[in-house]
Amino acid sequence: MDKKNEKHQMTLGMSPIRKLLSSQLTTTVIIFVAIIIITSLGTIKPEYGSLFLKSKNLVAVFRGMSFYVIAAMGMTLTLMIAEIDISIGSVAGMAAILMTFFSASPSNNMGLGLPPVIAIVLTMIITAVVGMINGFLVVKLKLPPFVATIASLYYARAIAMIITQGYPVYPIPEAFVKIGSATPLGLSWPIIISILLVIAFEFVLRKTSFGRSILATGDNKEVAQLAGINVTRTKITCFIISSVLAGISGMLLAMQLESGQPTIGQGWELQAIAGCAIGGISLLGGAGSFIGTFLGVAIMNVLNNALILFSVNTHYQNLVVGIVMVLAVTFDIYRRNRKLRS
């Protein structure tokens, strides 16, 4: 009790600035706003104004990042339970191929001609099975998550390539084309869906017993078990959700591209890990937020867009993102060490 009171008194004695910076999410917001301001001012042209703040540019940036955001939320879940899912990119690609294969007209020998709704449901079921397998291998067979999900990465990508033989699947149903090209509220469905999912998952994390189970499991699974939490069910559920979210992201991109491309999702797992790290998701589990992931992915995409507007070479773009990721992880470790010392 004395230690709690002492810690509380220390918190009360902190300056407002130190209190503000002690929050990882607040720090991420500050970094994001700073990048926005610098980019906006740095891309001002006398005759056009700020190139970055042009509505077409902003919509393009957020449309592009929305697919990563949806997939990265699944990565966030697995990191929160102190695991990792390297397969999300390949699962996204597999889902894109399966949805288009199930729904495309059989006349071109590349589809089954199923109704669009059935195609989506079947694809989501298959992605859920992949997630269940990942969870079973990690939780029941005790395989390292890196190994188990790397295996899924390979067989999910193999399924996509076997179905397509490396060729895109098209044409897709008109219903999918309309979803992919629609601009509700001047945005796109992927942007709106990604925002709604972030809000929904943040609510679940903070306000439900399942959310508390996720954080407790990632913080210390032995203590979580003693507290009556079903750690096995929690972890397997997180892996299932991760795969389904990756599948949704892949399907949405296929709708936008109006075809099932076997290359969809390549490299998404690295983008997701980077976005989570920059957004303050602890790679050691038990901490983070979906809003942080959203901001982390946004920071990466705004940085890339800024460097393009500044006419910076692509290789330097990757260098900058790598440096930002290292700084973010270093800051997270520093904060955790300070918390342990206090």
- Residue in the structure block whose two tokens are 């084309």: 177
**pLDDT confidence tier of residue 342, bands split at 50, 70 and 90:** low
Q: Which two tokens stand for residue 271?
A: 């983008």
Greatest CA separation for the chain: 75
225 part of a folded domain: yes
202 part of a folded domain: yes
Average pLDDT on 187-212 reads 95
Number of domain units in the chain = 1
> What are the C-alpha distances in Å from 283 to residues 16, 73, 106, 280?
28, 14, 45, 9
336 part of a folded domain: no
Q: 281 — phi, psi (to 5°)?
A: -80, 120
C-alpha span between 30 and 20 (Å, rounded): 10
Average pLDDT on 57-64 reads 93
pLDDT tens string 24-56: 788 888 889 999 999 999 888 877 778 899 989
C-alpha span between 308 and 56 (Å, rounded): 15
pLDDT tens string 143-171: 999 999 999 999 999 999 999 888 899 88
In a 3-state reduction of DSSP, which class is residue 23? Answer: coil
166 part of a folded domain: yes
294 part of a folded domain: no
C-alpha span between 273 and 328 (Å, rounded): 12
**Do 99 and 260 form a contact (C-beta atoms < 8 A)?**
yes
180: containing domain: 63-265
DSSP for 15-67, written as a single string: -HHHHHHT-HHHHHHHHHHHHHHHHHHHTEETTTEESTTSHHHHHHHHHHHHH
pTM of the model as a whole: 0.89
70 part of a folded domain: yes
Q: Name which of 187-196, 289-298, 324-333 the model is least confident about.
A: 324-333
pLDDT tens string 93-126: 999 999 999 999 887 667 899 999 999 999 999 9
Torsion angle (degrees, nearest 10) of CA 233, 238, 243, 248: 120
Nearest to 77 by CA among 322, 243, 226, 195: 243
Higher pLDDT, 312 or 340: 312
Average pLDDT on 199-221 reads 94
pLDDT value for 70: 97
317 part of a folded domain: no
Nearest to 97 by CA among 266, 250, 213, 297: 250
244 part of a folded domain: yes
Nearest to 289 by CA among 298, 280, 297: 280
pLDDT value for 11: 46
C-alpha span between 69 and 63 (Å, rounded): 10
